[in-house]
A and B are shown apart, each in its own frame.
Chain A
């Protein structure tokens, strides 16, 4: 049962433009949502997170939006840079579950 879904396997964006990565989830009991960035043959690195009691969190070029009624979150990167090219995973955590659920990832390619 895939509780966290990233329906777009890939996204291509021009440098300087906005990148929007989307993530949907099915369980309303999740308490935190996180985004991770992963390069090939490396482990994921934490990017940004948001608590379920908030609807927006911003950190520099990265902003995460949470729409609880739609069970949807998105990561906005603006302006996009070629170094942002990587696979982005969204993840969800619930204290009731005591573990992370990951989406399948979206491969972002930022073209110079």
Chain B
């Protein structure tokens, strides 16, 4: 199947710093990318939907000024956690789909473990 990569796979940072996470579709063009957050023993929580060349659509309760999403090309979306705090520590997962009518063609990245000290 198609491959989605995330970088870095894990990151530890100090409180107040910003962290950028990259999500790349390696062998296909992704019209839409999703960013999820997973807390321990909890569901995947959708944070935002990112379409190439347009502004991301954020879910209710997700601060768009804190979680900056850029989808500059059909193969790359970035999530920047600005002024990170310990409560932002979590497992962040991106996914990519090629088209709305290819729902099972949602390919997930391996995730990024963020720890804010």
Q: How far is the CB of B93 from chain A (nearest CB, A)?
A: 5
Task: Tell me if A100 and B43 are in contact (CB < 8 A).
Answer: no
Q: Given contact pairs A9-B41, A46-B104, A102-B43, enumerate 17 new A-B contacts (beta carbons under 8 Å).
A: A34-B103, A34-B106, A41-B110, A42-B110, A43-B109, A44-B44, A45-B108, A46-B106, A49-B103, A95-B100, A98-B100, A99-B34, A100-B46, A100-B106, A102-B45, A103-B43, A105-B41
Q: Is B110 a contact partner of A102 (Cβ separation < 8 A)?
A: no
What class of interface size applies to chain B in its complex with A?
20 to 34
Give the contacts of B93-112 with A (CB-CB under 8 A): 93, 95, 100, 103-111
B109 to chain A, nearest CB (A): 5
**CB-CB < 8 A to A42: which residues of B?**
110-111
Q: Name A residues whose Cβ lies closer than 8 Å to a Cβ of B.
A: 2, 4, 9, 32, 34, 36, 41-46, 49, 89, 93, 95, 98-105
Find out whether the CB atom of B43 lies under 8 angstroms from the CB atom of A43. no
Taking CB as reference atom, which chain B residue is nearest A93?
Answer: B103
Contacts of B36 in A (CB 8 A): 102
Q: Is the pair B113, A41 in contact by a Cβ cutoff of 8 Å? A: yes
Question: Can you list 16 A-B pairs, Cβ within 8 angstroms, ordered by A?
Answer: A2-B43, A9-B41, A36-B108, A41-B110, A41-B113, A42-B111, A46-B104, A46-B107, A89-B44, A98-B100, A102-B45, A103-B43, A104-B41, A104-B42, A104-B43, A105-B42
Q: A41's contact among B45, B106, B108, B111, by CB below 8 Å, is which?
A: B111
In the complex, whether B30 has a CB less than 8 A from a CB of chain A is: no
B69 at the interface (CB under 8 A from A): no
When A and B form their complex, which 6 residue pairs have the shortest distance between CB atoms, in order from nearest? A43-B108, A104-B43, A102-B44, A49-B104, A102-B43, A44-B108
